[in-house]
Each structure stands twice: as structure tokens, then as C-alpha cells.
Structure 1
Amino acid sequence: MEPRSLEDDRPYLRPEEPSAFPWLVSALVIALAGGIGYYYYYYLPAQQVPAAPQAKTEPAPAPPAEAKPAIANPLPATEAKSLPTLENSDSMMRESLAALLGSKAFNDFVIPTQLVRRIVATVDNLPRRSAPRRVMPVHPVAGAFRTTGSREAPTLDPANSARYATYVRAIEALPTRPLVEAYVQTYPLFQRAYEELGHPGKYFNDRLLEAIDDLLAAPEVGTPVRLIQPKVLYEFADPELETRSAGQKILIRMGGANALKVKAKLRAIRQDLAAAGAKKP
């Protein structure tokens, strides 16, 4: 049976799933920024306990459980006063991204407004079940999503991986150390956006590493990748794949060879992030 073409990626899996993952990876790592940023600690007042009667002896309280570190992956502090405000950060971010990606790639693929907020929201969403396209910092990958096989037993067309090849090559060419250094220098902006998103008392770099680790844990899936179409939308026929995170499912759909290359870049970025965190301020 001839491969069937769809208008775009929206009918595949869920409508919120992005088709812009390669440049999403570029954007979310390019703007990486370090620094302790802003962090809020909350303390509950000690609960008042009535005094025990003199005739009774209260048992000694159990030793408190070891407290979990508030920040698992701290970065060197960066002076927020040397940065623009979050509201005025687009100009700086556009210059930084264009320098790393190249002007043509930046103009072709990056949405140039609210960049920090878009990157933070996307990083936060990738380990979840869906990653809404409306908050992404990049335009969708061009071309039509294709399936092959029969209408009763559709499969993911391996030819789809060609749509991502140009983007994956660009990701491989991205200079890892400058990416991480740029992230470290502008981190307070990302921390501020993360708290603004609804995560006060949470540390964005921890969430970033969670997202990277989740992507690295994406399974290597053999072909053909079977699909089902219970209604309008395609889903993975394998329930174990269908319950994977949005980020992992995007890696699966871009093809095994492309996914391995993206994972190699993510590992390099993670290694440099860990090295940056190990540096003393």
C-alpha cells in the first residue's frame, strides 16, 4: 500500500504533541543559564503542644528524618543585576541564539518573542504527558507526517526521519560548552520565569536535568512502529509506548538513528552542566 500523507503532525498521537523537537532541543539548551537565581524557603511555625501532666512522661521524639536537599543540582551564582529584566530579555536572547545557531537558522525556526518563558515552559512540559505547541520557542518541522501499512494496521513510515535530518545535523554542530556557558551566565532569568510559571521554591536547573534524563531514558524502538487510530488521532499501538512522556514519544517518532544523535548531544550537555555545578563560586 502507498504511504499516506497527512496535512501535518497534529493528527498523530495527540494534537498538543510538538513536531518541532530538533529545534526545541537546540533552543532549550542554547539558552541554558547558570546561577543560584532566586530561591524561596518556606517554614511552617512550630505547632504548640499542650504541656503533659506531671504524672506522665512523654516518650522521647523520634529523630527527624534526614532533610532532602532543597537544590539537587546547584550552579555557580550569577549577578542578576548584570542582566536585563525578564520582560526585557528578548533582545539579548535573540542575539545569543542567532550567534550560536546562525542568523538564517534563527530566522527560519525560532519564535523571537518571550523566549525565556517559552523555553522554561517547554522544558517543564517535556517530562509530562503532553507538551503544548503554543508555548514552544520554535516553529514546527516542515513536511507532512506519513504512515504506511494498511488502514487497519498503520505503522510509522520510516521516511519521516528524513524530515528531521537537517535539524539533527545542526544539533550535532552546536558547540556544547558555549551553550552551557551562556546558560550559566543568564540563569537568573530562567529561574525567575520558572517561579513565575507557578513553581516558587523550585529550582529550574533541577527540572532541566530531569527533562534531559527523561529524554535519555527513551527506549530504542524497533521497526515497524505500530499505530492505532481509535478516533481521529493516531496513537502508539503499544500501551507502554503510549504512556511515555511527551519528550520520549517525540524521540521515538523522529527515528532511531536521529534519536541516538540527539541523545549523544544531550549527554554532552549534561556532562558540562554537572561540571559547571561542581565549580566553586
Structure 2
Amino acid sequence: MTEHSPRASEATALYVYAVCRADGSPVLDGVPGVTRDEPLRTLPLGSLTAIVQTVRAAEFTDEAWQERLADEPELERYARAHHGVVSAVAAQAPTVPLPLATLYTAQDRAEAALGDESARFHAALERIAHRAEWGVKVYAAGSPGDDGGGAARRPDPPGTPSTPGTASRADDRRRPGPEAGRAYLERRRNLQARRERQREDSLRVAETVDSRVCRIAAASRRLRPHGPGAAGDHRVQVLNATYLVDEHRSAELELLVEDLRESTGAGIELSGPWVPYSFVGGV
């Protein structure tokens, strides 16, 4: 009964997007956030400032959020709106982004909870100030001699007659002998050995790329590589890493990656600069 009452339907919550230093309070005009009912505003936290927005609590109940998780377009809309606010703030000052749908039932609760984390926020802000996150992905080259695994392209096993049931003496004379079988198995072993060598070479390239990029990065994180077929991509990913790089070294990073592409011949993707989500710790 209570959840359907007018009072419950009008209840609000405080949505928190990010935290920055108080002396870097950003301009928020024109940034909509996850709702257009209320404007974005700042919430003073002593030497820090939180970027917040008042939202209708009914839109963020567990039930409402579970429905949203099952609605991919709607979930993407919220994620983009959240990231839009974080990006707008980060473009003006060092910013610690908070996870999607960080909410508090009242402002005093938000002030208390965020205030308790002030030391961690300050440490994160110190770490990411004037730095950006960049992603680097390395892909293994195509396996030499790989026919794609299609059964129709594989050679028939030795001893397979061309026309079953009609073998003649001439067919018998043409039927492969033991030597052909050994040659077939040898070819398969050689193909497997080449694939294994290529895998080892690709992993060595990945380590080289990571080592070279780490020399100019302030911090790095190795992420789990995506498997083949992720998002329609059938390449084999051997490195999926993210790096925290000083803003003044971004051009140096781009030149380094281009040099690594040429020197290794590997498929290397560079993305960024991004808000350093990966380097703000568990805040």
C-alpha cells in the first residue's frame, strides 16, 4: 500500500555522478544528466565537491533497475547520460567518476557517506590529475596455412575411395599407401607446430608492447583479453590493457604505438583518451 501512495511516488533520491576538488567546481549548464526533471548541481563536501542530481526514487528501485537491465537501449541511454556528465566535469577539472546509479535516499546521507571517503577521493584525484586513460589491444596474426577449419576444405583422409562401391583394380593401384598416411599426419603436425610458434610469437609481441607502453605510463592494468567472436570480431586478442598517461605525453604514446605496429607487424589498436575510470580505486 505504501509504495502506491502519493507520498511514496513523490519521494526523491540523490544521484551522485562524480567528485572533484572544491576549487575546481565545474560549469554544469546545458548538461542534462539521467533526468531532465531537475538540473545538475554541486554538493559541497569541505575540500571536495560532488556532482549530483535529484531524481525520482521510484525510477531507481530494485524492480525498476532490474527492468532497465533487461532493456538494452534504455540501459545504454542511462549509461551514456551518466558518462556524459562525468566527461563534461572531467574536461574542466580532475574528476573521480562514481559507478552508474550511485544513489542516496537523502542529502545528509550522501554528505556523510562521501565525506567518510574523502581521503580516498583525494588520493585518487592526486593520482589522475592531468592524466588520461588509454586502451591498447594487440591481436595475433592469422595462422599460416590455416584453412579456417571448414570441413569441406580439409583433404580427405588417406585411403578414402573417390567413388564408394565402384573401386576397380586401377582404383586399388591409385589408393594411397602407408607413406601417404604418414605424410598426411606429418603435415598436420607441422601445421600445429606453426600455430603454436605463432601463438608464442604473438604473446612475445604482446609483452613487448606492454613493456614499451609502460615506460611512458604512470600506471597500467592488464585486463582479460576478449575471446574470438566478441562483438563480431574473430581475431585472437593477446593483450587487452589500459594505461594512465600524462596529458603532455599523449602524442608520444600515439607515435610509439605507430612505431610498434611497423616494427612488430602486429595488429595494435589504440583508443582514448578517456576519463580514467580504471585508476580511481574502489571509490
Q: TM-score, normalised by structure 2?
A: 0.26
Which structure is higher in strand share? Answer: 2
Greater relative contact order (Cα 8 A, min sep 6): structure 1 or 2?
1
Normalising by structure 1, we get a TM-score of 0.26
